[in-house]
Structure 1
Amino acid sequence: MKEIEYPIKGACQCGNVTYQLLEPPAMIVACHCKACQKLSTSAFSITAMVHADSVQFKGKMSEWSRVADSGNISIAKFCPCCGNRLYHFNPSEPEKIKLKISNLSDTRIIRPTAHIWVAEKQDWYKIPEGIKVFDKQP
């Protein structure tokens, strides 16, 4: 398999918001919480934990926020045209971004190293062996 080269380009569904991921993520998680199931319209959502300086965005984004189960604020950034989510962040830790990497041009990096909120996992989905598993937020 060809080595992954950075930067990797990404974009929302309509292409009005684009970005470049400049370096590999610190970690990639599959979140099975009910909020992520709604977000992804699937069994889980894939998120890459990256440093804010390792991503360059272009285009206008809107935001929406909610209080997470931890009590922290989760702000979602998304394209106002197509509604595609690009990332989430906690305003108390703006240097950390939870990037929604399914919209990268090269998705070979999507290999979750952990599955979180498996207490809310769909029964039919089987987590691969050898992956870290957390009932809730680690």
Structure 2
Amino acid sequence: MQGIQYPISGACQCGQITYQLLEPPLRVIACHCRECQKLSTSAFSLTALVKVEAIRFQGPLQHWQRLADSGNTNCAEFCPGCGNRIYHFNPEQPDIIKLKPSTLADTRIIQPTLHVWVSEKQDWFEIPAGVEQHPTQPW
């Protein structure tokens, strides 16, 4: 995306966790599953797939995990102070971090190119024409 300068800084709400995103994400995804609606307290949750080596974190992260409907283990890292989710990861994909990109200082990279779990999408939300979508998890 033009005009975006890397690294981009990011932080939780209280500032205890900070990070630097060193390069563009591989992909930005909007997930409409009920669990992501709970997480985001909105219609969907946004995730930027980032290579592990493309991000540097500072500060103590807290860990939580659950079994996803897809059968994958969904691990989450969040700030122990304010509770802000910073990223998720699947232990079976150790090279990829699922960054919660709304924590970035420059959020212009948040342009989803894929919508998943649209079978659970809120009826009032319209996915833009031409954007890839799947009724469940495609992988």
Structures share a fold, TM > 0.5? yes
Q: Which residue of 1 aligns with 2:83?
A: 83
Aligned counterparts of 1:74 and 1:2: Cα–Cα separation in 2 = 32
TM-score of the two chains, using structure 1 as the length reference:
0.97
Alpha-carbon offset, residue 91 of structure 1:
1.2
In structure 1, give the amino acid aligned to 2:51: H
TM-score of the two chains, using structure 2 as the length reference:
0.96
**What stretches of structure 1 of length at least 5 have no aligned partner?**
none
In structure 2, give the amino acid aligned to 1:78: F
In structure 2, give the amino acid aligned to 1:120: E
Aligned counterparts of 1:46 and 1:90: Cα–Cα separation in 2 = 16
Aligned counterparts of 1:130 and 1:44: Cα–Cα separation in 2 = 18
Q: Which residue of 1 aligns with 2:54?
A: 54
Aligned counterparts of 1:137 and 1:70: Cα–Cα separation in 2 = 6
- Cα RMSD (Å) of the superposition? 1.2
**What stretches of structure 2 of length at least 5 have no aligned partner?**
none
Structure 1 stretches of 4+ moved >6 Å? none
Is 1:5–2:35 an aligned residue pair? Answer: no
Aligned counterparts of 1:37 and 1:89: Cα–Cα separation in 2 = 18
Alpha-carbon offset, residue 93 of structure 1:
1.5
Aligned counterparts of 1:59 and 1:133: Cα–Cα separation in 2 = 35
Alpha-carbon offset, residue 137 of structure 1:
0.7
